[in-house]
Amino acid sequence: MAMVMTAVLSENVSLEDFIASPPDDMEWVDGQIAEKNGMTVKHSRIQSRLDRAWGNYKISSGQGGEVYTEVPCRTDRRVRRPDVAYLTAELVAEYGDVPTFPQSPLLIAEIVSPTDIAEEIFLKAQEYLDSGCLEVWIVFPESRWIMIVTQSQKLTFNLDSTISTQLVLSGFSVAVDELLG
């Protein structure tokens, strides 16, 4: 959860209106447009490294698809913007350049900021999983570990270990130190 929402900017905005034209750095939560904030330099650096690592791998492995940062996507009841997301080539072809993806991407990474609340992080991961996502990486920059959450498992990785995708972007692995160091 890269950022916590602290400012509600508008009330009673329909989901359809938000999906058609999602404003930058905003999420739609419970009928309101909420601003995301709390990003740090460390957060931005990790986001960039993970975006680059997944992007390079999807090309070199020939799996195709696309890697996005802060892309608007629909969950069961909200529009979220995961820090980093991967869509398979099939989903990219199906959805094209829609303003908001109608489901969660299959692989998502959320980078925890110092202002995030633990329970909200895990609820957000479950929200993604309930909305089409198969695998969520929760990145903890300060404690320097990464958790992978799927519907059936939770795995934790720390420095001096290698993390691998479990269900999506088959074969991808990277040293945790490369992402968090």
Could you give the CA distance from residue 45 to residue 37 in angstroms, rounded to a whole number? 16
Q: For position 121, what pLDDT does the model report? A: 93
Q: For position 38, what pLDDT does the model report? A: 64
User: Residue 53 corresponds to which tokens in the numbers above?
Assistant: 């690592």
Average pLDDT (115-124) is 91
Average pLDDT (120-137) is 96
Q: For position 1, what pLDDT does the model report? A: 39
Residue type at position 59:
I
User: Is pLDDT at 51 greater than 80 in this prediction?
Assistant: yes
Between 38 and 108, whose confidence is greater? Answer: 108
Between 99 and 34, whose confidence is greater? Answer: 99
Could you give the CA distance from residue 85 to residue 106 in angstroms, rounded to a whole number? 8
Between 23 and 146, whose confidence is greater? Answer: 146
Tell me, letter by letter, the H, E, C secondary structure of the chain: CCCEEEEEEECCCCHHHHHHCCCCCEEEECCEEEEEECCCHHHHHHHHHHHHHHHHHHHHCCCCCEEEECCCEECCCEEECCCEEEECHHHHHHHCCCCCECCCCCEEEEECCCCCCHHHHHHHHHHHHCCCCCEEEEEECCCCEEEEECCCCEEEEECCCEEECCCCCCCCEEEHHHHHC
Residue with tokens 């959450």: 149
Q: For position 5, what pLDDT does the model report? A: 40
User: Is pLDDT at 133 greater than 90 in this prediction?
Assistant: yes
pLDDT tens readout for residues 151-167:
999 999 999 999 999 99
Phi and psi based region of residue 170 (left: phi greater than 0; alpha: psi -120 to 50; beta: remaining): beta
- What's the pLDDT band for 7 if we cut at 50, 70, 90? very low
Q: For position 37, what pLDDT does the model report? A: 62
By CB atoms closer than 10 A (0-12, 13-18, 19+), residue 109 is: buried
